Amino acid sequence: MKKSICIIAFAAFIAACGGGAAHHRGEEFGSADPRHRRDFPVAAGELCKVAQHVLLERGYAVSRRMEGDDIALVGRKEFREDDKQHAVLEFHATCSATAKGAILFATAVESRFDGAASKRSTSVGVPVVAPITFTSSETSEAQVKLGGGTVEDAGFYESFFKAVQRGLEAP
């Protein structure tokens, strides 16, 4: 009896440590999410050049690379929340050629971090032999990720696509 109670308690403990919600269960691949895609009647190269300028004009550090026939952009921008915490917004855009122009896919991931400092000191002495003591101290900082996730705000993506459209229409 005692053994079975221990086994049940252990199983409950392991299940509790299993983590949070299974977010993949809410994912459906039956239809495209209109927040993350927009069709444009221009070549993929021109489209991605304008998208890159939109991100650069808003303070993102942008890298660009080719992935097969697609052009991939990654924009990164940091936001200071207070002395110890900051957020990072990473914006991913991919331009893919189509028969009628190009598709611009966009998604953004926001992550929050806390800067944790730790101090460590060591002291070594030999009081019997001589009154000599060696002391060493070290301070190190590390980032701890507090959380993050995909930006779900449709207005955020809509403003990006509108800015790209304005950039394409500009002389």
Rounded-to-integer distance, Cα 130 and Cα 9, Å? 56
The yes-or-no verdict on residue 15 having pLDDT over 80 is no
Higher pLDDT, 34 or 122: 34
Q: What pLDDT is recorded for position 8?
A: 45
* Element spanning 8, H or E: helix 2-16
User: How confident is the model over 61-70, as a mean pLDDT?
Assistant: 95
Cα–Cα dist 77/88, whole Å: 6
Domain 32-78+92-109+149-169 class in CATH:
alpha beta
Identity of the highest mean pLDDT range in 15-19, 95-99, 148-152: 95-99
The amino acid that residue 133 corresponds to is: T
**Residue 48 has what pLDDT?**
97
Non-local CB neighbours of 136 within 8 Å, separated by 6+ positions: 121, 122, 123
Identify the pLDDT of residue 100.
96
Phi, psi of 122 (to 5 degrees): -130, 140
What would the pLDDT profile of 67-87 be if each residue is shown by its tens digit? 999 999 999 999 988 888 899
Contact 112, 85 (CB under 8 A): yes
pLDDT at 170: 87
Phi-psi region of 151 (alpha: psi -120 to 50; beta: other; left: phi over 0): beta
Per-domain boundaries in the chain: 32-78+92-109+149-169
Per-residue pLDDT of 96-113, as tens digits, reads 999 999 999 999 999 998
**pLDDT score at 65:** 96
The average pLDDT across 157-161 equals 97
This prediction has a pTM of: 0.70
Lowest mean pLDDT among 34-43, 90-99, 138-147: 138-147
